[in-house]
Amino acid sequence: MTAQAILEANRIGMTFDTPSGAVEAIREVSFELEAGEIVALIGPSGCGKSTLFNIISGLLDPSRGEVRIGGVDGISRSVGYMLQKDLLLPWRTVIDNVVLGLEVRGVAKSESYPKAQALIEAYGLAGFENARPTTLSGGMRQRVAIMRTLAFDPTVVLLDEPFSALDFQTRTLLQTDVARIIGEQQKSAVLITHDIGEAITMADRIVVLTQRPSTVMRELSVNIDREDRSPIALRSNPRYNELFIQVWNDLQQDVKVA
């Protein structure tokens, strides 16, 4: 692990035993996540991205290799997981959903609620503290979900296609919004996405994975300043188009080879 690495996935491999025999989902994947960085994992459907997330979060033990977070092996409570669906509890208010992770960890209300209130006010939901999730738009619900993920102060945030269920306009706006929030909270994150544009919009580096059993095909540094990541500015940025074509060609070439 380098001096700045928060997370290290070292030669991860995963083989599942099934009634019809062994199925190799991940052959060998290695990458690092540095402090304050967002890394995007992109690859074909079924290449093992979600399996890799389950390994990083400690929900699965890899068949081979290791994951280290903050220099420590094994399951870590310092991982926050934001899923495709917001999974807000409909009977709880916005602020009660934000404090849920802290509540589970036994944090006192005198500490958890002020922290949740500060996040709500900082990220555009002031006045909705006592609203129920069913009264919120999809974008607002996802903001609550990222607040809930960040409230317990995880070392690493895992973003598993968090905007895939949203319409194009909301999804595009939230990509820059969530990347900004993660930066302001000084967190490090790994993003799973099928959307090349989303990877370029949010990530500092892109890790392109092959088809199953997956390996790392290529790592690309985005090298676009954060202030130039607005949806409009990006589409006219030559680096954006260069990266988009490179990742697209990599993914298409992998399909042809397979």
Write a three-state SS string for the chain.
CCCCEEEEEEEEEEEEEECCEEEEEEEEEEEEEECCCEEEEECCCCCCHHHHHHHHCCCCCCCEEEEEECCEECCCCCEEEECCCCCCCCCCCHHHHHCHHHHHCCCCHHHHHHHHHHHHHHCCCCCCCCCCHHHCCHHHHHHHHHHHHHHCCCCEEEEECCCCCCCHHHHHHHHHHHHHHHHHCCCEEEEEECCHHHHHHHCCEEEEECCCCEEEEEEEECCCCHHHCCHHHHHCCHHHHHHHHHHHHHHHHHHHHC
Strands 214-221 and 21-34: parallel
pTM for the complete prediction? 0.88
The more confident residue out of 188 and 257 is 188
Q: Is the pLDDT of residue 58 over 50?
A: yes
State percent of the chain over pLDDT 90.
Answer: 47
pLDDT in tens, 126-157: 999 999 999 998 888 988 988 898 888 888 99
Which range of 81-85, 162-166, 214-218 scores highest in mean pLDDT? It is 214-218
Q: Is the pLDDT of residue 1 over 50?
A: no
CATH 3.90.550.50 assigned to domain 1-77+187-258? The reply is no
CB atoms within 10 A of CB 22: 9
pLDDT in tens, 111-132: 999 999 999 998 889 999 999 9
Average pLDDT of span 205-223: 94
Q: Is the pLDDT of residue 255 over 80?
A: no
Q: Where is average pLDDT lowest: 7-11, 83-87, 100-104, 192-196?
A: 83-87
Q: Is the pLDDT of residue 228 over 70?
A: yes
Gap between the Cα atoms of 147 and 116, Å rounded: 8
Q: Is the pLDDT of residue 254 over 70?
A: no
Q: Is the pLDDT of residue 257 over 90?
A: no
Q: What is the mean pLDDT of the chain?
A: 87
Q: Is the pLDDT of residue 258 over 70?
A: no
pLDDT band at 256 (very low <50, low <70, confident <90, very high): low
Residue 76: the pLDDT is 56
Residue 245: the pLDDT is 94
Q: Is the pLDDT of residue 77 over 60?
A: no
CB atoms within 10 A of CB 194: 14
Q: Where is average pLDDT lowest: 173-177, 211-215, 217-221?
A: 173-177
Residue 74: the pLDDT is 55
Q: Is the pLDDT of residue 53 over 80?
A: yes
pLDDT band at 25 (very low <50, low <70, confident <90, very high): very high
Distance of CA 250 to the CA centre of its chain: 22
Contacts of 75 (CB under 8 A, 6+ apart): 57, 58
